[in-house]
């Protein structure tokens, strides 16, 4: 079946457009997927490439970036005297194969003012300009470049402007108008520079009006998420359950109506992880490598985690970890009212790794002070330490309020750490609750978003941990699961074919 499909495929060149892509720039799961998914497609024979801005942290020498196009004029649609008609950008290129564990060929949009002088990916007052410039700059580049994709996949609100420009400003451009667009929703919660929950009906961007000039303050009101959903040929999100959830009022973030209207074009493909990078037998961030036949070796990694976090080094202690962006989405509020009791009643250690909202950062700092020797928080972004934590910890907490996919539960299971998750989005699709009667399950799952439900799952996890045979069983089943891109990359390939047909139909 799969082979037949690939013989007949009409699409070959795919361009992923995003605000982050590892190893160049990464703030979360999106950046990781922009590394591993294109690589998986390349393995299937696709010419998959990525394009992101060149932020201050992306050093052209370190990453061996060549100049691909100099002096790209990107129209600003300026309406007032004194405003420049064009912003001048360059495009640099990383050619695949130069770095170890090489990402695919990656293009970088350069602009001194909007990217090169910015140390962070997100969080500037003029982000609306930075992202409309990215969308338009990429299309202007593709008008001139030798390489032209069959399909462009753009991710989240920041790049929702790309299908919008393509289907309006560039709709008659003979070079661009045959390109199919897929809009990927990695997180529906963020839609633009405004908080969509506090925008009045009349100010809510309906998506039809032209994208204003880069210098027009109305740019701040644009809803890039809505526009991406409206203008793309096809919409996908990162798990089947989230694809269903976002069509409901509870998870739809005010866009459920629009998504329901376009439901025949909405798909959900579960993310996967790179099995070469997440590999307990080879990963060099581990103190001790292991496989499912030598789980006892994980103890060395546990002791290393304890030592790095300054906790007593006890290999039999129940080590619980939270590795996460510290935002409301991640369900951290559920911990607030119960964590003291859990720490007092259960002999466990709790480590936290991650960065995010001040409210959570100070909460964990305070918790660490109140429970010395039991709690340790490392409130930074670290791309390597998670490997060691997953390879040493017993339980990984992912109590998310909503979770489009979630990667950490899969990464953890790959390393034999058992996930405790809330049944939502991709977490519901990847973790199966432990059932003692049938001796099945890969983790602990709770349904309702409240602290008591979390405590119940936590208690069940702790009791199971006390029985080494039971625990080994759960670990073994979790490690056996196949979360590699093998299946999902093929699902993406199918989406590309569908999207290409949809564009053709528009042309006819």
- Rounded Cα distance between 224 and 228, Å, is 6
| Helix (H) / strand (E) containing 134 | helix 127-144
Nearest alpha-carbon partner for 443 in 377, 393, 389, 496: 393
The residue range among 29-37, 115-123, 280-288, 353-361 that interacts with ligand GLC, by the rule CB under 6 A, is: 29-37
How do 266-268 and 234-237 pair as beta strands? parallel
Q: Select the residue interacting with ligand GLC from 311, 376, 405, 445 (CB under 6 A).
A: 405
The residue range among 136-144, 343-351, 370-378, 400-408 that interacts with ligand GLC, by the rule CB under 6 A, is: 400-408
Nearest alpha-carbon partner for 232 in 164, 175, 293, 282: 164
Q: At what angle do helices 468-480 and 451-465 cross, to 10 degrees?
A: 110
Q: Which of residues 40-59 bind ligand GLC (CB under 6 A)?
A: none
- Minimum Å gap between C-beta 21 and ligand GLC is 12
Q: Which residue is nearest to ligand GLC (CB)?
A: 29
The residue range among 398-406, 432-440, 449-457, 482-490 that interacts with ligand GLC, by the rule CB under 6 A, is: 398-406
- Rounded Cα distance between 246 and 267, Å, is 11
DSSP classification of residue 103: P
Q: Are 136 and 160 in contact (CB under 8 A)?
A: no
- Rounded Cα distance between 337 and 139, Å, is 50
Q: Select the residue interacting with ligand GLC from 11, 19, 21, 29 (CB under 6 A).
A: 29
The residue range among 58-66, 106-114, 402-410, 455-463 that interacts with ligand GLC, by the rule CB under 6 A, is: 402-410
- Minimum Å gap between C-beta 289 and ligand GLC is 26
- Minimum Å gap between C-beta 235 and ligand GLC is 14
- The count of residues interacting with ligand GLC (CB under 6 A) is 14
- Minimum Å gap between C-beta 400 and ligand GLC is 8
Q: Is 404 in the site for ligand GLC (CB under 6 A)?
A: yes
- Minimum Å gap between C-beta 430 and ligand GLC is 10
Q: Rank residues 354 and 404 by Cβ distance to ligand GLC and give the closer one.
A: 404
- Rounded Cα distance between 30 and 468, Å, is 36
DSSP classification of residue 443: B
**Binding marks (x or -) toward ligand GLC, 155..194, rule CB under 6 A?**
-------------------------------xx-------
- Minimum Å gap between C-beta 163 and ligand GLC is 18
Q: Rank residues 323 and 375 by Cβ distance to ligand GLC and give the closer one.
A: 323
Q: Is 238 in the site for ligand GLC (CB under 6 A)?
A: yes
**Is 43 annotated as ligand-binding?**
no
The residue range among 23-31, 336-344, 457-465, 477-485 that interacts with ligand GLC, by the rule CB under 6 A, is: 23-31
- Minimum Å gap between C-beta 33 and ligand GLC is 5
Q: Is 74 in the site for ligand GLC (CB under 6 A)?
A: no
Q: Rank residues 193 and 405 by Cβ distance to ligand GLC and give the closer one.
A: 405
- Minimum Å gap between C-beta 493 and ligand GLC is 18
How do 86-94 and 106-110 pair as beta strands? antiparallel
**Binding marks (x or -) toward ligand GLC, 190..229, rule CB under 6 A?**
----------------------------------------
DSSP structure string for 309-344: TT----TTSEEEEEES-BSGGGTTHHHHTTHHHHHH
Q: Is 416 in the site for ligand GLC (CB under 6 A)?
A: no
- Minimum Å gap between C-beta 243 and ligand GLC is 12
With tokens 């369900």, the residue in question is 331
Q: Select the residue interacting with ligand GLC from 110, 403, 411, 429 (CB under 6 A).
A: 403
Give the Å distances, CA to CA, from 235 to 160, 165, 258, 414: 11, 16, 12, 29
Q: Rank residues 37 and 377 by Cβ distance to ligand GLC and give the closer one.
A: 37
Q: Are 87 and 60 in contact (CB under 8 A)?
A: no
Give the Å distances, CA to CA, from 332 to 15, 336, 400, 424, 493: 35, 7, 7, 15, 36
Q: Which of residues 249-288 bind ligand GLC (CB under 6 A)?
A: 271
DSSP classification of residue 156: T
Q: Select the residue interacting with ligand GLC from 247, 407, 458, 489 (CB under 6 A).
A: 407
Annotate 101-125 with b (16+ C-beta within 10 A) or e (fewer): ebbbbbbbbbbeebbbebeebeeee
Beta strands in 339-380 (DSSP E): 348-353, 375-378
- Rounded Cα distance between 24 and 57, Å, is 8
Q: Select the residue interacting with ligand GLC from 11, 25, 33, 398 (CB under 6 A).
A: 33
Annotate 239-255 with b (16+ C-beta within 10 A) or e (fewer): bbbbbbbbbeeebbbbb
Q: Is 28 in the site for ligand GLC (CB under 6 A)?
A: yes
- Minimum Å gap between C-beta 331 and ligand GLC is 12
Under the rule (CB under 6 A), what is the footprint of ligand GLC?
28-30, 33, 186-187, 238, 271, 403-407, 426
Residues making up the annotated binding site for ADP-alpha-D-glucose are 26
């Amino acid at each position: 079946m799969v082979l037949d499909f690939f013989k007949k495929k009409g699409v070959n060149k795919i361009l992923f457009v995003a605000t982050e892509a590892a190893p160049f720039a990464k703030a979360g799961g999106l950046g990781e997927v922009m590394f591993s998914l294109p690589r998986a497609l390349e393995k299937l024979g696709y010419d998959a490439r990525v394009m992101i801005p060149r932020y201050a942290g992306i050093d052209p020498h370190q990453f061996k970036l060549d100049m691909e196009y100099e002096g790209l004029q990107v129209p600003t649609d300026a309406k007032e005297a004194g405003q420049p008609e064009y912003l001048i950008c360059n495009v640099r290129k990383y050619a695949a194969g130069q770095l170890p564990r090489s990402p695919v060929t990656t293009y970088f949009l350069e602009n001194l003012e909007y990217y090169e002088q910015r140390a962070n990916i997100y969080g500037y007052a003029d982000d609306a300009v930075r992202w409309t410039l990215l969308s338009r700059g990429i299309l202007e580049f593709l008008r001139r470049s030798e390489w032209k994709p069959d399909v462009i996949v753009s991710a989240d609100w920041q790049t929702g402007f790309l299908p919008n420009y393509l289907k309006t400003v560039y709709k008659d451009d003979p070079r661009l108008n045959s390109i199919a667009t897929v809009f990927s929703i990695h997180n529906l919660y963020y839609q633009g520079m405004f908080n969509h929950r506090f925008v009045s009906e009349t100010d809510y961007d309906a998506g039809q009006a032209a994208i204003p000039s880069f210098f027009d303050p109305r740019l701040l009101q644009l809803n890039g998420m809505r526009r991406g959903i409206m203008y793309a040929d096809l919409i996908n999100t990162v798990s089947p359950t989230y694809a269903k959830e976002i069509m409901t009022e509870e998870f739809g973030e005010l866009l459920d109506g629009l998504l329901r209207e376009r439901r025949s074009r909405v798909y959900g493909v579960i993310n996967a992880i790179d099995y070469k990078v997440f590999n307990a037998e080879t990963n060099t961030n581990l103190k001790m490598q292991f496989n499912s036949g030598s789980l006892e070796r994980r103890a060395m990694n546990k002791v290393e985690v304890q030592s790095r976090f300054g906790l007593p080094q006890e290999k039999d202690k129940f080590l619980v970890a939270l590795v996460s962006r510290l935002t409301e989405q991640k369900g951290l509020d559920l911990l607030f009212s119960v964590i003291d009791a859990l720490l007092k009643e259960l002999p466990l250690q709790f480590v936290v790794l991650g960065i995010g909202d001040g409210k959570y950062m100070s909460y964990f700092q305070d918790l660490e002070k109140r429970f010395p020797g039991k709690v340790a928080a490392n409130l930074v972004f670290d791309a390597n330490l998670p490997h060691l934590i997953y390879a040493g910890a017993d339980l990984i907490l992912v109590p998310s309020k909503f979770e489009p996919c979630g990667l950490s539960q899969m990464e953890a299971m790959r390393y034999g750490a058992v996930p405790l998750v809330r049944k939502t989005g991709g977490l519901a699709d990847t973790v199966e609750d432990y059932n003692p009667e049938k001796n099945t399950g890969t983790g602990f799952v709770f349904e309702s978003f409240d602290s008591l439900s979390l405590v119940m799952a936590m208690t069940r996890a702790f009791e199971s941990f006390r029985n080494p045979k039971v625990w080994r069983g759960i670990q073994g089943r979790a490690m056996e699961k196949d979360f590699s891109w093998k299946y999902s990359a093929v699902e993406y390939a199918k989406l590309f074919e569908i999207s290409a047909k949809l564009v053709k139909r528009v042309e006819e």
